[in-house]
Structure 1
Amino acid sequence: MSDPAGRLNIQLRRTPHGFACDIASTRPVAASGLFRGRAPTETASLLPLLYSICAKAQASACVGALDHACGMDPDPEARRLRQSLVAAETVREHLWRILLDWPLLLDEEPDRHAMIGTQSLVKRIFGALDSDGVLLSPGCEKPTSSRSALAEAASALADLTAERVLGLAPDAWLERVTTLGAFDDWCRSVETPAARLLADLHDSGDGRLGHTEASPLPDLDDGTLAAELRGPEAAAFVARPHWRGVPRETTPLTRYADSALVSALVADQGRGILARLVAQILETVSLLRAIRTDELDAGSTAPSDTLLPAGVGLGRADAARGLLVHLAEVDRGRVAEYRILAPTEWNFHPDGVLSSALATLPDAEETLLRRRVQLLVMAIDPCVAFDLVIP
């Protein structure tokens, strides 16, 4: 039985000049066509059922696009709460990797107990942010949230992260771990699997593996994105997106490239495995603080000043794997066209960042090579499973 979310097939080939990489995808990038002819409210209800991975990010981008297309403008509080939902989901997605997948790379058991606790606390955060269950509906005007319940659940999640990942409070980690020296001290003074994995990558030199030159996705305005998503090559664009002929990257590394810690790691280690994994931890900790202190900026998800045609709307969400964009066209109360541009299509483009990173790997015996490939794939992080073939 095929996986409804699709899979990636990654093949590494040895050539006289090193590795070449072939990436094929069975992700259902055209599935959003199922929304044509549906009412906006029906579309908003159905979409997170079809796109269950990062469902809050999908739903948030969806209602943003539909609001804009229908001429509705939710108040800034609704946009802020939606962004908080996406932030909490992103924390959960990163902790899933950190608690369950990272220990396997040390030949240790996943921390399932901590992950169960994480899922429960994030669910409580969702409920506190959207008490009435209307926040992700088009035209939401008066969302109800519980600040006390949010603070309690977010603080408990921060405590869990401190105990199982950081070895100290998240706010203290953000304040102290800003330089290479502080990062090295932290890795060697904490006994969590996350800290030990990062120390191992640093000591072995594997943290440098997969370095590629930066090709980050620029900050494109709504009009530019809408033109690509409505143009004659739109179907090909959402399947294999590029900007000015170059596949781009949209990941936690590109979001946090200007932070003191990540920029120092990139300068020392390159844009390899270590910098990417640290960016995931930094985003996790930063979002935890932002959720607790209401520091999220609702303006980042508001429509840009670019005028779009009547009936056309664009929604964005900073999902765990990168920028997620939805475009909706509504005509006479029905969806006439719908397209989704997901970060996996950018980052796992056949000529994109993963392909470039894998091509830089040194040859090695198969067990070691597979471990390094798995590390790189996990560091760039697809939202679906993958198969690896090394002939």
Structure 2
Amino acid sequence: MTHSPRPGTTLQRLTIVCDPAHGSQPWRFVREAGVDPARTLEGRPVEEAAGLAPRIFNLCGAAHGYAAARALGFAAVADAPAMARESVRDHALAIFHTWPGLLGGAPDRDALRALSQPGPEGAAALRRALVGARLPDRDFGNLSCAALGAWLCAGETATARILSRLRREVDPAEGRAGLPELTTVDLARALESAAPDDAPLALRETGALSRMAGTPLFAALIAAEGPSLFVRLLARLADLLALLEAPPQAAPTASAPTRDAPEGLGFADAARGLLGHGARVDGGRVSRYRILSPSAWNLAPGGLLERAIAALDPSGAQAQLLAHFLVSAINPCVPVRLDVTGALRHA
């Protein structure tokens, strides 16, 4: 069962309940909606709205600030280093904190401390913590599948050991799901639509795998096994490494918000995928404002997360673990609560 947010609201929390006894649809998705914070920008002068947007949406404030400025008609220049730092932090917290915890391990506190170390030294420390010293210092996405396999088998880092374990123990069919990549054309069409804000979106996905899919390594993996859980987790690692390998004063092309948008729209590549702001301005004030975050697509009813979760065996011994890893792989920006024990089955 799914419920879309009401007009003027946005998704605040998603609860996923598993009931294996429920036949062909054992997974239930319960959406809790709240007031859409984009509404707080309406009625304000454009200068005030542009300054307020990155503070309201501070999880990826630099990306939101750029998209808002462009949507409101300002000739903004993207703060690429700040946006890169946002993405690095987002991926690193998942890889060094969330993933070890899911397998009963401790966070890598040394690696997490390296997040606060500026410049090339911090980037080098993070790279060593991620892939070790043996992997050639080159684009991870250009590795061959054989080189990837050798790195996994060597298990030089905690990240390699986590991914190696999942590679060995998880059937690629578990959680495998994919949708067409979200494009700026899709985003512009949705933001400019006269349909109600709660009208269903086209089914698309956006995120790290979308950015990495065209590289040799990921093209080969997707051809061999599709967008599996392992491939999606590996894409977060590869996306982080691409950010760390960029010049100190610029984010890599894959994450730099250089897309041109029509008047009244602003696009940015945020940590979780393609972000869009849409604004209508009358008399110097914002009369309508809409934001479509990556999670608006990835968590949509019938969308990527629902399809990936539905591809898990609910009766399997690892269903809870794999569901948590899937949430991390898809990386929503709203809280997701998982119940695979039945405690919320009748909620």
Match of 1:73 among 47, 72, 75: 75
Query: Whole-Å Cα distance in 2 between the matches of residues 301 and 176 of structure 1?
Result: 22
Query: Whole-Å Cα distance in 2 between the matches of residues 374 and 351 of structure 1?
Result: 19
Q: SS state of the match for residue 102, structure 1?
A: helix
Deviation at 1:328, TM superposition (A): 1.5
Query: Whole-Å Cα distance in 1 between the matches of residues 256 and 157 of structure 2?
Result: 36
For residue 316 of structure 1, what is the aligned residue in structure 2? 267
Query: Whole-Å Cα distance in 2 between the matches of residues 108 and 249 of structure 1?
Result: 31
Say whether 1:355 aligns with 2:287. no
Deviations 1:33-89 (A, max 9, x none): 1111212222233223322222222222111212x2xxx434xxx33xx23321221
Say whether 1:168 aligns with 2:141. no
For residue 338 of structure 2, what is the aligned residue in structure 1? 388
Q: SS state of the match for residue 96, structure 2?
A: helix
Say whether 1:104 aligns with 2:101. yes
For residue 379 of structure 1, what is the aligned residue in structure 2? 329
Match of 2:41 among 18, 35, 38: 35
Per the alignment, do residues 47 and 362 of structure 1 end up closer, same or farther by CA in structure 2, a change over 3 Å counting? same
For residue 232 of structure 1, what is the aligned residue in structure 2? 195
1:375 is matched by which residue type in structure 2? F
2:69 is matched by which residue type in structure 1? V
Deviation at 1:339, TM superposition (A): 0.8
Query: Whole-Å Cα distance in 1 between the matches of residues 98 and 273 of structure 2?
Result: 19
Deviation at 1:270, TM superposition (A): 2.2
Query: Whole-Å Cα distance in 2 between the matches of residues 208 and 280 of structure 1?
Result: 19
Q: Is the 8 A contact 2:191 2:292 kept in 1?
A: no
Percent identity between matched residues is 31
Query: Whole-Å Cα distance in 2 between the matches of residues 371 and 175 of structure 1?
Result: 26
Deviations 1:334-383 (A, max 9, x none): 11111110111211112111111111212435x62111111111111111
Per the alignment, do residues 155 and 326 of structure 1 end up closer, same or farther by CA in structure 2, a change over 3 Å counting? same
Q: SS state of the match for residue 103, structure 1?
A: helix
For residue 45 of structure 1, what is the aligned residue in structure 2? 51
Query: Whole-Å Cα distance in 2 between the matches of residues 170 and 65 of structure 1?
Result: 42
Say whether 1:301 aligns with 2:258. yes
Deviations 1:88-144 (A, max 9, x none): 2111100110111111133210123422331x24xxxxxxxxxxxxxxxxxxxxxxx
Say whether 1:272 aligns with 2:228. yes
Query: Whole-Å Cα distance in 1 between the matches of residues 293 and 181 of structure 2?
Result: 15
Q: Is the 8 A contact 2:141 2:218 kept in 1?
A: no
Q: SS state of the match for residue 317, structure 1?
A: strand
Q: For 1:130-145, what aligned pairs fall within 5 Å after superposition?
A: none
Per the alignment, do residues 249 and 198 of structure 1 end up closer, same or farther by CA in structure 2, a change over 3 Å counting? same
Which of 373-382 and 202-211 deviates more? 202-211
Q: Is the 8 A contact 1:330 1:336 kept in 2?
A: yes
Per the alignment, do residues 164 and 299 of structure 1 end up closer, same or farther by CA in structure 2, a change over 3 Å counting? closer
Q: Is the 8 A contact 1:102 1:193 kept in 2?
A: no
Query: Whole-Å Cα distance in 1 between the matches of residues 185 and 313 of structure 2?
Result: 35
Per the alignment, do residues 94 and 222 of structure 1 end up closer, same or farther by CA in structure 2, a change over 3 Å counting? closer
Q: Is the 8 A contact 1:9 1:386 kept in 2?
A: yes
TM-score normalised per structure 1: 0.76
Cα RMSD for the two superposed structures? 2.7
Q: SS state of the match for residue 91, structure 2?
A: helix
Match of 1:202 among 151, 154, 167: 167
For residue 120 of structure 2, what is the aligned residue in structure 1? 155
Q: Can you give the 5+ residue segments of structure 1 that lack an aligned partner in the other structure?
A: 122-152
Query: Whole-Å Cα distance in 2 between the matches of residues 95 and 26 of structure 1?
Result: 28
Q: Can you give the 5+ residue segments of structure 2 that lack an aligned partner in the other structure?
A: 1-9, 343-347
Query: Whole-Å Cα distance in 2 between the matches of residues 219 and 383 of structure 1?
Result: 20
Say whether 1:93 aligns with 2:90. yes
Query: Whole-Å Cα distance in 1 between the matches of residues 247 and 276 of structure 2?
Result: 22
For residue 251 of structure 1, what is the aligned residue in structure 2? 207
Q: Is the 8 A contact 2:143 2:216 kept in 1?
A: yes
Match of 1:115 among 96, 112, 115: 112
Deviation at 1:206, TM superposition (A): 4.1
2:163 is matched by which residue type in structure 1? L
Q: Is the 8 A contact 2:127 2:241 kept in 1?
A: no
Deviation at 1:222, TM superposition (A): 7.1
Q: SS state of the match for residue 220, structure 1?
A: helix
Query: Whole-Å Cα distance in 2 between the matches of residues 299 and 48 of structure 1?
Result: 17
For residue 283 of structure 2, what is the aligned residue in structure 1? 332
